[in-house]
Amino acid sequence: MAKVRFGCSVLTYQLFLLSSLTLLNNTVASGEEAKNFYIVYLRESRVSKGSAVQKYMHLLSSVKGSEHAAKESMVYGYTKSFNAFAAKLSKDEAEKLMEMDEVISVFLNRYHKLHTTKSWDFIGLPLTARRNLKLERNIVVGLLDTGITPQSKSFKDDGFGPPPSKWKGTCGHFANFSGCNNKIIGAKYFKLDGNPDPADILSPIDVDGHGTHTSSTLAGNLVLNASLYGLAKGTARGAVPSARIAMYKVCWVSSGCSDMDILAAMEDATSDGVDVISISIGGPIQNYVTDSISVGAFHAMKKGIITVASAGNDGPSLGSLSNHSPWLVTVAASGIDRQFRSTVKLGNGKSFSGIGINTFEPKEKLYPIVSGGDVAKNSESKEFARFCFENTLDPGKVKGRLVYCTLGQWGADSVVKGIGGIGTLVESEQDLDTAQIFMAPATVVNANDGETIENYIHSTRSPSAVIYRSHEVNVSAPFVASFSSRGPNPGSRHLLKPDIIAPGVEILAAYTPMNSLTGLKGDNQHSDFIFMSGTSMATPHVAGVAAYVKSFHPTWTAAAIKSAIMTTAKPMSRRVNKDAEFAYGAGQLNPTRAVNPGLVYDMDEMSYVQFLCHEGYTGSSIAHLVGTKSINCSSLLHGFSYDALNYPSMQLKMENGKPQTTCVFWRTVTNVGPPSVYNATIKAPEGVEIAVKPTRLFFTRLLQKRSFKVVVKAKPVESTSFSVRSASLEWKSTGYSVRSPVVIYSLQD
């Protein structure tokens, strides 16, 4: 029987990975004795929780040699949605287990990393949006993150009744965490590797700030007069302020977020009764059956729970996406129309606009300025001094001055301040679209302005300058953030990812008092609200809208909610964003329209199983997903369309060297609106021909299904190794527009 092997994967279409995703740790020295954590999946058996764990122990004893050794090494038994355990094993022991009949697969535990006021108005979910409050109060959103800050105003429970009766989650008293309220109704932490993390606390409390931020973006209360030191002042709020929050802390300041913790948390969230799971964690890129987020989300999907996850912050490299399973909603990050800028003025009167969040007002009109490269500590440090790295600058020459530095790594502001400098003017070769928060006066200028400033410093006897406090400027938006991970999907050539894009640049949301604004040495700035940027911040926007849709349509499947979100998205401009759908998927999140999509592309568990078979996975490699069902992939594999999915988007990869590539997509839509007639509208670029059959769909009643096929014929693009062409299919009827992106790409490999 073909079981999944270590190191290699069953994935057939591993395209290319340009990104630099690395394992955070858990790389173990080779040798017999090296032990590591593994997750061992077992065949499903309908036994009680107690006897399941007994069975795990029995299996483990047989390879460990004794029950005592088994007890020592087992860290967790998963019993709620699937049968599995996590244990510390040598490679030999893991391989022995893999040979056993009861064992389906064995995976190495790996470590993942963490990847407003204004943003909701910007995407069209105003304070006054129509709400179904009666149901919204019963929605529970689950987050896997760094923990939460219960004392934050965003999570006070004034006016909230007791948790909904379906809720089975729990919430105890932990270190620095005095239990839940009627807003935060679940809080747990997961740290199965047992290694202490001196920088963190064994408690759902958020020491980092990331989890507090994502939770408040998703479901935070209205908080008036929120700002960061007066910047972006306004009312902070989540998508669903009346919904309840359950926090599953799986990410730790030093060690990141491990597979076995993520699996345990997702299992708990699923059985606790959350409605939506939001995960702003990602990497390393794995396939659809080994990745813990993918596996956990599959089991959640079977219970009707939608999982929304971040695409990653490894852009703009192509193929850098994580969380790209078809049953996940994969979220990219866009910028909104607000940017933070600081004016820099030189002694000669010239001024420049820098990017960055600088809360400091200058005390003097001008300060003397030096260039880092000119004030090196000694001859060895000369070549690094221009980057203002730690221990490279001469404190005597920095004290009381501004320092001009080339961007090497973030934190020059801390280095300069630490040795008595006034502030830092950073020059970046790359044009930045995201503002960094500084712990001392600082801003970032582009290379052009940098050159002018450096020339000024070198051609003036007593050069001087000043950096002003940041202010807001309007920029044109939305645009794809440069850091947002891009397709094509490294997991499958048949599936377009990301699915959707949402605001993820300089989002203001709640923060923890346990961390300074920058986390840098010497920073003593604290704030109840902070700006953060990342696909991590975009994800709770989409999870929030999923919860919002669910508050109107409590019976919809995860696939139907995803379809509603994708087909109502606002198309983005491929002129501005050259990676097109590989950067923004179906387009910008459009909350109020998502509630009323007209038609949905629905899917159930078997649709995904067929997809996996079609992708080359075997029945046994997906056994830990499907449970007791026995899947014979070859019997499932006939008469399929190109992608074997009923997905709300379509993606075709050109066959290299052929004069034309042709494929057929089969789709079925379900009417969730009034009786209507829909007409197909096709948009296709030159060289691409798309035909839909039939071109009109008639619906006379709710939940009626209609099928159609889409035939795409594409001629190759001349002489480029990589191209992405955008087309679309839009079903239109009075008051409704159901749009699917159709992407045709080529890649010489």
Is the distance from CB of 454 to CB of 427 less than 8 angstroms? yes
Q: Which of 452, 460, 734, 748 binds ligand NAG (CB under 6 A)?
A: 734
Q: Does residue 345 interact with ligand NAG by CB under 6 A?
A: no
Q: Which phi-psi region, left, alpha or beta, contains residue 644 (left: φ > 0; alpha: ψ -120 to 50)?
A: left
Least distance between ligand NAG and beta carbon 201 (Å):
6
Q: Which residue is nearest to ligand NAG (CB)?
A: 635
- Between CA 488 and CA 494 the distance in angstroms is 10
For ligand NAG, which is the closer residue by CB, 289 or 613? 613
Strand-pair category, 35-42 with 84-90: antiparallel
Q: Interaction with ligand NAG in 492-531: which residues (CB under 6 A)?
A: 514
Nearer to ligand NAG, 109 or 568 (CB): 568
CB of 732 to ligand NAG, least distance (A): 5
Answer for which of 222, 473, 702, 703 binds ligand NAG (CB under 6 A) is 473
Q: Which is nearer to ligand NAG, 28 or 691 (CB)?
A: 691
Least Å distance between CB 501 and ligand NAG? 21
Q: State both tokens at 351.
A: 């001024």
Taking CB under 6 A as the binding criterion, the range among 79-87, 99-107, 424-432, 731-739 that sits at the site for ligand NAG is 731-739
CA distance 493 to 584: 17
The angle subtended at Cα 119 by Cα 115 and Cα 125, nearest 5°, is: 120
Task: Give the C-alpha separation, 682 to 661, whole Å.
Answer: 18
Contacts of 536 (CB under 8 A, 6+ apart): 114, 115, 210, 214, 280, 310, 313, 504
User: Which one of residues 733, 739, 745, 746 is an interface residue with ligand NAG (CB under 6 A)?
Assistant: 733
Compute the least distance from the CB of residue 371 to ligand NAG, in Å.
32
Plot region of 519 (φ>0 → left; ψ -120 to 50 → alpha; else → beta): left
Q: What is the 3-state secondary structure (H, E, C) of 528-558?
A: CEEEECCHHHHHHHHHHHHHHHHHHCCCCCH
CB of 407 to ligand NAG, least distance (A): 26
DSSP assignment of 404-431, as one string? EEE-SSTTHHHHHHHTT--EEEEEESSP
Examine residue 176 and tell whether it contacts ligand NAG (CB under 6 A): yes
How many CA atoms lie within 13 Å of 96's alpha carbon, on the beta-carbon side? Answer: 12
- Under rule CB under 6 A, which residues in 235-294 are in contact with ligand NAG? none
- Please name every residue paired with 248 in a beta bridge, in sequence order, or none if there are none: 144, 188
Terminal Cα-to-Cα distance of the chain (whole angstroms): 32
Ranges assigned E (strand) in 179-327: 184-189, 223-228, 231-236, 244-249, 251-252, 256-258, 276-279, 281-282, 306-310
Q: Binding segment for ligand NAG among 30-38, 405-413, 429-437, 728-736 (CB under 6 A)?
A: 728-736
Interface mask (CB under 6 A) for ligand NAG, residues 669-708, using x and -?
Answer: ----------x-----------------------------
Instruction: Return the number of the residue (66 or 679) whose C-beta is nearest ligand NAG.
Output: 679
Q: What is the nearest approach in angstroms of ligand NAG to the Cβ of residue 627?
A: 18
353 binds ligand NAG (CB under 6 A): no
Q: Pick the piece of the chain touching ligand NAG (CB under 6 A) from 424-432, 491-499, 697-705, 726-734.
A: 726-734
Beta partners for residue 443, in sequence order: 425
Of 555 and 634, which CB lies nearer to ligand NAG in the complex structure? 634
Stretch that binds ligand NAG, among 48-56, 190-198, 620-628, 631-639 (CB under 6 A): 631-639
685 in Cβ contact with 736 (< 8 Å):
no
Residue 505's contacts (CB-CB under 8 Å, 6 or more residues apart) are 333, 334, 335, 336, 433, 434, 481, 533, 537
Among 165, 474, 555, 721, binds ligand NAG (CB under 6 A): 474
Q: Identify which of residues 51 and 695 has a Cβ nearer to ligand NAG in the complex.
A: 695
Round to whole Å and give the CA distance between 517 and 491: 36
Element of type H or E holding 447: helix 447-459
| CA gap 45, 52 in Å, rounded | 8
Query: By CB under 6 A, is residue 25 in contact with ligand NAG?
Result: no
- Interatomic CA distance for residues 174 and 184, integer angstroms: 14
Does 668 contact ligand NAG by CB under 6 A?
A: no
Question: Which of the stretches 378-386, 417-425, 629-637, 718-726 binds ligand NAG when contact is defined by CB under 6 A?
Answer: 629-637
Binding to ligand NAG by residue 343, rule CB under 6 A?
no
Please say which residue, 44 or 121, places its beta carbon nearer to ligand NAG: 121
Cβ contacts of 653 within 8 Å, gap of 6 or more: 488, 493, 494, 661, 745, 746, 747
Please give the distance of CA 562 from its chain centroid, rounded to a whole number.
15
Instruction: Tell me if 732 contacts ligand NAG by CB under 6 A.
Output: yes
Query: Shortest Cβ distance from residue 224 to ligand NAG (Å)?
Result: 7
Whichever of 133 and 175 has its CB closer to ligand NAG, that residue is: 175
**Contacting range for ligand NAG; rule: CB under 6 A; set: 55-63, 242-250, 400-408, 730-738:** 730-738
Q: Is 409 a residue that touches ligand NAG (CB under 6 A)?
A: no
Q: Active-site positions?
A: 145, 210, 536
Name the DSSP class of 491. Answer: S
User: Which is nearer to ligand NAG, 292 or 334 (by Cβ)?
Assistant: 334
Which of 30, 379, 628, 634 binds ligand NAG (CB under 6 A)? It is: 634
Q: How far is the CB of 526 from ligand NAG (least distance, A)?
A: 12
230 binds ligand NAG (CB under 6 A): yes
Instruction: Find the part of the chain contacting ligand NAG (CB under 6 A) among 136-144, 255-263, 630-638, 684-692.
Output: 630-638
Count of residues that bind ligand NAG according to CB under 6 A = 15
Strand ranges across the sheet with 688-693 = 599-600, 661-671, 705-714, 688-693
Q: Which of residues 65-124 bind ligand NAG (CB under 6 A)?
A: none
SS3 state at 245: strand
Using CB under 6 A, which of the segments 41-49, 106-114, 577-585, 732-740 binds ligand NAG?
732-740
Q: Which of 1, 34, 47, 175 binds ligand NAG (CB under 6 A)?
A: 175
As a whole number of angstroms, the distance between CA 317 and CA 294 comes to: 22
316-329 burial: b if 16+ Cβ within 10 Å, else e: bebbbbbbbbbbbb
Of 258 and 359, which CB lies nearer to ligand NAG in the complex structure? 359
What part of residues 198-227 is at the interface with ligand NAG (CB under 6 A)? 225, 227
Site string for ligand NAG, 578-617 (x = CB under 6 A): ----------------------------------------
Q: Per CB under 6 A, does 635 bind ligand NAG?
A: yes
Secondary element (H or E) of residue 584: helix 581-584
Under the binding rule (CB under 6 A), the answer on residue 178 touching ligand NAG is no
Q: What share of the chain is helix, strand, coil (3-state, %, to 5)?
A: 20, 30, 50
Q: 405, 424 in Cβ contact below 8 A?
A: yes
State the residues that interact with ligand NAG by CB under 6 A.
Answer: 175-176, 225, 227, 230, 473-474, 514, 632, 634-635, 679, 732-734
